[in-house]
């Protein structure tokens, strides 16, 4: 099946950037030049430019055209999935509870607000290698515990209540002491430090709608992130 022309133009320009034909801060050929070269319209060329702009390769410069952005090696793309390639999660608890002070603060809960909590362990080869828990502010009837269990992956569980593109995630990764109930689930010593992945789900107005944290043992914990133009997810 023949690819649309705007995809081909974007690919040609992308290959030129990655090959060094266009250097950072160089201006790309103008819309008129590209339209003439590919025998198409400026509208088609603009669609190509939108692709490259969304990928972080170029940026429009008012009155001059599009210039190539330098790669930002302080920004990393990281893939984090709740569905591990091996093993399976086992649910320990789905309940309505009073949150601890740290969770109440993160979710900006006032008074005696309750949360739904979902606690699970990840088992691989007969061993428990990770523990995770999620907290969602409880509102009577919205959502129900059964609903949240059925949609127990962040942030997809919120897609019935919020526009998906209106949500974003803040992630914090750190070594933290393991609380007693996690020690018991993972079989580690009290106050042992593990890598903990904290995720806060927020709306476009920065209202917290959910918080999750995962405790990873030495045999399971590990993250891979990439920087630069060419990442496996981006291009």
Per-residue model confidence as pLDDT tens digits over 107-143: 999 988 999 999 999 999 889 999 999 999 988 766 5
Residue 54 lies in a domain: yes
pTM (two decimals) = 0.74
Are 139 and 201 part of one and the same domain? yes
Residue 89 lies in a domain: yes
Residue 156 lies in a domain: yes
Looking at residue 191, which CATH number applies to its domain?
3.40.1410.10
Per-residue model confidence as pLDDT tens digits over 182-204: 999 999 998 789 999 999 999 98
The residue ranges of the chain whose pLDDT is under 70 are: 1, 141-152, 230-235
How many structural domains is the chain composed of? 2
Looking at residue 25, which CATH number applies to its domain?
1.10.10.10
* Structural contact between residues 114 and 80, judged by C-beta atoms closer than 8 angstroms: no
Are 43 and 157 part of one and the same domain? no
For residue 17, the enclosing domain spans 5-68
Specify the pLDDT at position 47: 95
Are 204 and 184 part of one and the same domain? yes
């Amino acid at each position: 099946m023949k690819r649309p022309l705007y995809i081909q133009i974007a690919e040609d320009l992308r290959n030129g950037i990655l090959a060094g034909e266009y250097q950072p801060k160089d201006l790309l050929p103008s819309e008129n030049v590209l339209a003439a070269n590919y025998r198409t319209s400026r509208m088609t060329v603009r669609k190509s430019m939108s692709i490259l702009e969304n990928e972080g390769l170029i940026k429009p410069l008012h009155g001059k055209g599009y210039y190539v952005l330098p790669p930002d090696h302080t920004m990393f793309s990281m893939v984090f999935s709740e569905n591990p390639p091996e093993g399976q999660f086992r649910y320990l608890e789905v309940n309505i509870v009073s949150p601890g002070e740290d969770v109440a603060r993160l979710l900006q809960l006032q008074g005696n607000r309750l949360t739904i909590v979902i606690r699970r362990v990840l088992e691989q080869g007969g061993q428990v290698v990770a523990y995770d828990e999620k907290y969602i502010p409880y509102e009577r009837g919205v959502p129900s515990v059964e609903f949240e269990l059925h949609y127990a992956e962040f942030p997809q569980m919120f897609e019935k209540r919020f526009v998906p593109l209106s949500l974003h995630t803040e992630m914090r990764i750190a070594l933290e002491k393991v609380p007693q109930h996690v020690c018991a689930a993972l079989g580690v010593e009290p106050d042992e430090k593990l890598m903990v992945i904290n995720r806060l789900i927020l709306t476009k107005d920065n209202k917290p709608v959910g918080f999750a944290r995962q405790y990873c043992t030495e045999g399971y914990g590990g993250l891979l992130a990439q920087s630069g133009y060419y990442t496996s997810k981006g291009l």
